[in-house]
């Protein structure tokens, strides 16, 4: 039977995992009573419901409901002294639970403490913009929208930022392959030559490691050389002293001279 490849996550996967291997976990510590983080959790819990809060690698992680994201950050900024939001983005968990995890990385400049506010939204749900609190979210939320397609309510100018405006698809989704999808392979061809030239030009090669041995314009041929741009007759190809390796270096199924000699 052919190997099943999941379509909801097309990123690189480990080709071998020991079946008895259990991944260790980064220890999450409970919040010490009376510590700075304890006060932060108390202040936030006054306003919104906290689903989970623990300290991991020196930073507090608070999980709140997605609708409370603005209020949580407001409490953090105004009462806990978290004057800076250093980063905001999302993690794609669509394949696993059909959700995005949005995180806000907060920084308290006076006490040098960091808090990560995390909330989860379903696919297709929007999240409230935090631009009125932190202007850095202007660019960061645009990037999140560009990369994941997460809509942000009340953002002043929600538009693609890194990808072109007429791009289709959101590149950081797990369903998006690293070398780009079909749209990506035609994008520049259509832009430069026009759609009518698709048949002549062909799709863009977006895999930088791909070698086409019959393409004499972009690749040189080792051993038996041909002029630039020469057509290579695939059927009556001249015998080449050097074996081309397309998938493996030595083909153990066909007889190899070197192997014969060794035997």
Partner 1 sequence: MQVKNKLTPFFENLNFERDDNTMVINFGPQHPSAHGQLRLVLELDGELVVKAYPDIGYLHRGIEKMAENMTYNEFLPTTDRLDYIASTSNNYAYALSVERLIGLEVPRRAQVIRTMLLELNRIISHLFFVATHALDVGAMSVFLYAFREREYAMDLMEDYCGARLTHSAVRIGGVPLDLPEGWLGDLAAFAAKMPEEIQTYEDLLTENRIWKMRLEDVGVISAEEAMSWGCTGPMLRGSGVKYDIRKEEPYELYEELDFDIPVSDRCDSYGRYLLYMEEMRQSARILQQLIPMYGKTEPQLMAHAPQYISAPKEEIMTQNYALMQHFVLVTQGMRPPVGEVYAPTESPKGELGFYIKSEGEPYAYRLKCRAPSFFHTGLLQEILVGTYIADVVTIIGSTNIVFGEVDR
CA separation for the pair 45, 31 (Å, rounded): 14
115 phi, psi to nearest 5 deg:
-125, 140
Closest CA to 163 of 177, 180, 151: 180
Select the residue interacting with partner 1 from 86, 154, 205, 240 (CB under 8 A): 86
Give the CA-trace dihedral at 70, 71, 72, 75, to 10 degrees: 120
With CB under 8 A as the contact rule, the residue among 39, 122, 135, 191 that binds partner 1 is 135
Residue 216 makes contact with partner 1 by CB under 8 A? no
36, 47, 65, 83: which one contacts partner 1 (CB under 8 A)?
83
The whole-angstrom separation of Cα 51 and Cα 87 is 21
Binders of partner 1 in range 40-59 (CB under 8 A): 56-57, 59
Q: Which residues within the stretch 152-211 sit at the binding site for partner 1 (CB under 8 A)?
A: 160-164, 171-172, 176, 178
Interface positions, 4-23, toward partner 1 (CB under 8 A) = 11-16, 23
Binding residue (CB under 8 A) for partner 1 from 50, 91, 126, 232: 91
Of 90, 98, 92, 178, whose CA–CA distance to 142 is shortest? 90
Rule CB under 8 A: say whether 140 interacts with partner 1: yes
* Per-residue contact string for residues 93-132; x = within reach of partner 1 by CB under 8 A: ----------x-x-x-x--x-x-x----------------
Separation CA 8–CA 261 (nearest Å): 49
Residue 13 or 238 with smaller CB distance to partner 1: 13
Question: Binding residues for partner 1, how many (CB under 8 A)?
Answer: 47
Task: Evaluate whether 10 touches 176 at the Cβ level (below 8 Å).
Answer: yes
Among 136, 189, 201, 232, contact with partner 1 (rule: CB under 8 A): 136
83 or 243: CB nearest partner 1: 83
**Tokens representing 46?**
């006054």
Cα-Cα-Cα-Cα dihedral sign, residues 193, 194, 200, 202: positive
Tokens of 206: 């977006």
Alpha-carbon gap, residue 54 to 70, rounded angstroms: 20
| Binder of partner 1 out of 26, 30, 242, 258 (CB under 8 A) | 26
Enclosing H/E stretch for 97: helix 94-97
The contact set with partner 1 (CB under 8 A) reads 11-16, 23-26, 28, 56-57, 59, 61, 83-87, 89, 91-92, 103, 105, 107, 109, 112, 114, 116, 134-136, 138-140, 143, 147, 160-164, 171-172, 176, 178
């Amino acid at each position: 039977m052919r190997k099943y490849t999941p379509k909801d996550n097309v990123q690189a996967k480990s080709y071998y995992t020991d079946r008895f291997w259990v991944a260790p976990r980064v220890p999450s510590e409970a919040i010490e009573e009376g510590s700075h983080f304890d006060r932060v959790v108390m202040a936030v819990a006054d306003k919104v419901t906290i689903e989970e809060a623990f300290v991991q690698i020196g930073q507090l992680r608070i999980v709140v409901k997605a609708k409370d994201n603005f209020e949580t950050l407001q409490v953090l900024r105004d009462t806990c002294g978290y004057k800076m939001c250093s980063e905001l983005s999302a993690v794609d968990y669509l394949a696993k639970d059909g959700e995005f995890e949005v995180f806000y990385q907060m920084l308290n400049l006076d006490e040098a403490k960091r808090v990560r506010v995390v909330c989860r939204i379903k696919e297709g749900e929007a999240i409230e913009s935090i631009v009125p609190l932190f202007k850095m979210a202007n660019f960061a939320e645009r990037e999140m929208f560009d990369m994941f397609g997460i809509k942000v309510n009340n953002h002043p100018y929600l538009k693609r930022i890194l990808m072109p405006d007429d791009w289709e698809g959101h590149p950081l989704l797990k369903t998006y392959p690293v070398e780009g999808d079909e749209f990506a392979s035609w994008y520049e061809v259509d832009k430069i030559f026009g759609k009518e030239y698709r048949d002549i030009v062909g799709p863009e090669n977006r895999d930088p490691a791909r070698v086409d041995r019959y393409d004499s314009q972009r690749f040189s041929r080792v051993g038996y050389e041909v002029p630039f741009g020469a057509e290579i007759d695939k059927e009556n190809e001249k015998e080449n002293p050097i074996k081309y390796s397309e998938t493996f270096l030595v083909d153990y199924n066909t007889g190899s001279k070197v192997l014969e000699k060794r035997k």
